[in-house]
Structure 1
């Protein structure tokens, strides 16, 4: 079995040769080659607890709960087939599950990797203590960098919470896509500007890998539908729930989809939610894949193939080695304040259309529909359609975060909170240097939604004008005190001033008032 460890920083050193030190494998740590499980002799006892209570707290997507519970049960069976003694406890809460476990094995000490979720380690320690047991927490090895390595680097780095600086540091430390002299392959660190093309009409996206659904997963899907109050489609589940399928999905992405990924990474097509994206984040966030496995597969393919452009390889590496790692470190440093941050004072409730998908706005309705169907839409739909609309509308970032957390199959609090509250809503300012908001012009340029939409992207006011336009200018106006001094946004306020001089802002305010009335009546 291949051992995998963080490549930036020094992993914890320990072993579990004592039979009373037992790996506790959490539902997002489903990798056989990392952490306590990898350091345990074959045939040892392993603890897994399938808690159900969390799934009753939100209207989670049916596919998300199916994915989590099916992957855990598949991993349990794989470990048993490999000779491990898996004590698999099903309970309403972790507390009840731990009480059951320590009633059976009172002398055990559970050893678990730290979950990236805020204060989860403290909560687990308290629960184990209440159950009369012992717990040791060790480093989470399902990332490419350690907490200590980032903290040491960030301590002397004035712009530690700027992704570009972090990403370059990770590339240097890991030597990924790097020349021998330490400079980036191709001469540039970041080829994001080469990721913004829109495909021609004749372009066909590469096929998507969809693993077969076996009996166990089908049974879990039916159980989830009966047991929990879920949101989203109960049909067409097609996510990897085993390590074998996750590795096959990685191979398929690198072989079939990666060459097309780079240029069209930011593009959106109404009938193509996957485009050429990797679709690997659910497997990586469950631990079925290690991010370093994805990084090395991408780099190896770039070095050995002539059909793989650098902007595709670098763009994909940036997601795994850069952004995902960055989100993890930002989250743990900015919590708990980040979860409730709203520096612009946004406090409106989330419009019902995020749940119903009922709107004449083709981009918003289509993106919500994609999430309903599969628990997924790609990152530009998330940022520049859904979060963009919510931010312009003035939605409370925490409520938007709850929606993302519940509805996406790859969503966990540690990853949605910095992405949604900060990047999507400009809630804190911990790393975002401006709000990522845009008018209909962006959506029209980067998608085909507008061609069949009931709203006109070229109009700002009046009946039939795209809501994004009036909402955009209204957002700038109502947040002027906070944003006019932002060096990245000052030029926009020249346009606001012109609109005021021409009395156009009065029409904008009138249009926004109409839009809010339409939303209340379910007619937006």
Structure 2
């Protein structure tokens, strides 16, 4: 039997690879997938470099590795079964919906067999979630508390450490525009990574059918992400030593000159399998135990992101597909504005975040939710277009990651767990960032020349979706403010919104 390791399962310590120490290992670089979307070159470089480093590490440990660089999985399997006819393969379940059946069909068509076993690169098993979940809507807070009890993380005698389950109200501070965060870790590419980066640049032009630019959209700075387990562990230690203390209070803050703030920057490494979420949580908990300067709100806030949010979204994706991917309960139909590809907009918040994504394939979670997704939501972008952009743009993005985050949380696409749309005017961006100070748009204006698009589109969004949203449990107070607006003001809002959409369509927002 041979262990087939997929590109996002690069773990030496979990799965059949760890349990079958004497068996051959199969890895296939399938290049066709890299042309499905306009992937950021850092994402492709990280993936393929991590796979090649993993191959070399296995061989250094004495493992037999069959490694194929092919256009498709099918072509890679053709080459493999030519050398190893009728072989039996075993692999962990892929995270993407339908992938297990597709891979099994490819193997069986070539005379082999594929045993798909549960993916243990997560902390919540499928059976445990199904036992807990019941019918949707699912509640993330309830799931988080269940997982705390199950794992014992941040629990004392059956009660949450500190007496509260979460400290989110302490994690919404803005440090000021002159705040200087610790420098994020950067890893110098070795020969393997340099070769992959050059190959990616030559092979994948970063464009696809719906890209309005018709060519490369990213503007990448030199590659710096971790591509080996050793580097990923170093990044984890760096977070614990330099960034954990202030992670909590400033985790929602957006400072224009501090793209990383105090975020861990570990999502991409965890999603590739270089780090296991359990070891990440345990390392951070131990670091906080040893450092009295780490406040509980920083520790709990981080644990909630990994144990509560990441695990929850993975399971919601599993049980809600394929409907979730196509969900669009607000019937949003606008095309994604060109500014998401170019960063060319006079909206300072939007241009700053998009420029960071174009450079690094990254922005932190509040920039994703309250700038990018918020703008797309109130603008009326079709959720599937927004999801495709996120999937292509981020180094840590996979279909199972973006679909619940973007279609459900960001676009209020289905109501499978989101209880309200995450729509906001300029007030939130102004409170949590320094973007508004240098913007040509006026954060206090809703209509007329220079009115902030967030203000105009927010109220136009509420008016446009009144029938669907007014009765939503958490929207009553918001609509009480809408009710106070005179017909003349509502018409001015609609006119300004139409003007903004026309500007966005021609790239002049």
- The secondary structure found in structure 2 opposite 1:499 is coil
Contact 2:10–2:272 (8 Å) recurs in 1: yes
Aligned to 1:517: 502
In structure 1, C-alpha distance between the alignment counterparts of 2:153 and 2:41, rounded to whole Å: 37
Mapping for residues 174-253 of structure 1, pairs under 5 Å: 174-180=151-157, 182-230=158-206, 231-253=217-239
- Offset at 1:212? 1.5
Residue of 103, 111, 136 corresponding to 1:124: 103
Residue of 337, 350, 358 corresponding to 2:344: 358
Aligned to 2:242: 256
Residue of 322, 337, 361 corresponding to 1:336: 322
Runs of 4+ in 1 over 4 A off after TM superposition: none
Residue of 395, 398, 405 corresponding to 2:391: 405
- Offset at 1:211? 1.3
TM-score scaled by length of structure 1: 0.94
- Offset at 1:467? 0.5
Mind listing any 5+ residue stretches in structure 2 that lack a counterpart?
Answer: 207-216
Stretch of structure 1 that moved more, 101-110 or 196-205: 196-205
Contact 1:63–1:233 (8 Å) recurs in 2: no
- Offset at 1:201? 4.4
In structure 1, C-alpha distance between the alignment counterparts of 2:242 and 2:367, rounded to whole Å: 23
Mapping for residues 353-432 of structure 1, pairs under 5 Å: 353-432=339-418
In structure 2, C-alpha distance between the alignment counterparts of 1:366 and 1:404, rounded to whole Å: 16
- Offset at 1:412? 0.2
- The secondary structure found in structure 1 opposite 2:154 is coil
In structure 2, C-alpha distance between the alignment counterparts of 1:237 and 1:406, rounded to whole Å: 17
- The secondary structure found in structure 2 opposite 1:269 is coil
Does residue 168 (structure 1) correspond to residue 145 (structure 2)? The answer is yes
CA displacement 1:37-61 (0-9 Å, x = unmatched): 101224x311011100011121110
Contact 1:159–1:165 (8 Å) recurs in 2: no
CA displacement 1:256-301 (0-9 Å, x = unmatched): 1011100001000111110000000000000000011110011112
- Offset at 1:112? 0.3
Give the total of aligned pairs.
499
In structure 1, C-alpha distance between the alignment counterparts of 2:181 and 2:236, rounded to whole Å: 17
- The secondary structure found in structure 2 opposite 1:380 is helix
- Offset at 1:219? 0.6
- The secondary structure found in structure 1 opposite 2:26 is strand
Residue of 508, 518, 522 corresponding to 2:493: 508
TM-score scaled by length of structure 2: 0.96
- The secondary structure found in structure 1 opposite 2:274 is coil
Contact 1:118–1:336 (8 Å) recurs in 2: yes
Aligned to 2:428: 442
Mapping for residues 11-410 of structure 1, pairs under 5 Å: 21-42=1-22, 44-155=23-134, 161-180=138-157, 182-230=158-206, 231-410=217-396
Contact 1:221–1:234 (8 Å) recurs in 2: no
Contact 1:195–1:263 (8 Å) recurs in 2: yes
In structure 1, C-alpha distance between the alignment counterparts of 2:227 and 2:218, rounded to whole Å: 19
- Offset at 1:462? 1.1
In structure 1, C-alpha distance between the alignment counterparts of 2:199 and 2:506, rounded to whole Å: 36
Question: Taking structure 1 as reference, are residues 149 and 196 closer, same or farther at Cα in structure 2, changes over 3 Å only?
Answer: same
- Offset at 1:446? 0.5
CA displacement 1:6-41 (0-9 Å, x = unmatched): xxxxxxxxxxxxxxx111010000010011110122
Contact 2:85–2:111 (8 Å) recurs in 1: yes
- Offset at 1:309? 0.3
In structure 1, C-alpha distance between the alignment counterparts of 2:29 and 2:110, rounded to whole Å: 16
Aligned to 1:4: none
In structure 2, C-alpha distance between the alignment counterparts of 1:238 and 1:397, rounded to whole Å: 31
Contact 2:171–2:252 (8 Å) recurs in 1: yes
- Offset at 1:94? 0.5
- Offset at 1:159? 6.7
- Offset at 1:493? 1.2
Contact 1:160–1:166 (8 Å) recurs in 2: no
In structure 2, C-alpha distance between the alignment counterparts of 1:490 and 1:373, rounded to whole Å: 41
Contact 1:154–1:160 (8 Å) recurs in 2: no
CA displacement 1:322-366 (0-9 Å, x = unmatched): 100000110011100000100000011111111011100001111
Aligned to 1:451: 437
- Offset at 1:149? 1.1
- Offset at 1:222? 0.4
Contact 1:225–1:234 (8 Å) recurs in 2: no
- Offset at 1:479? 0.2
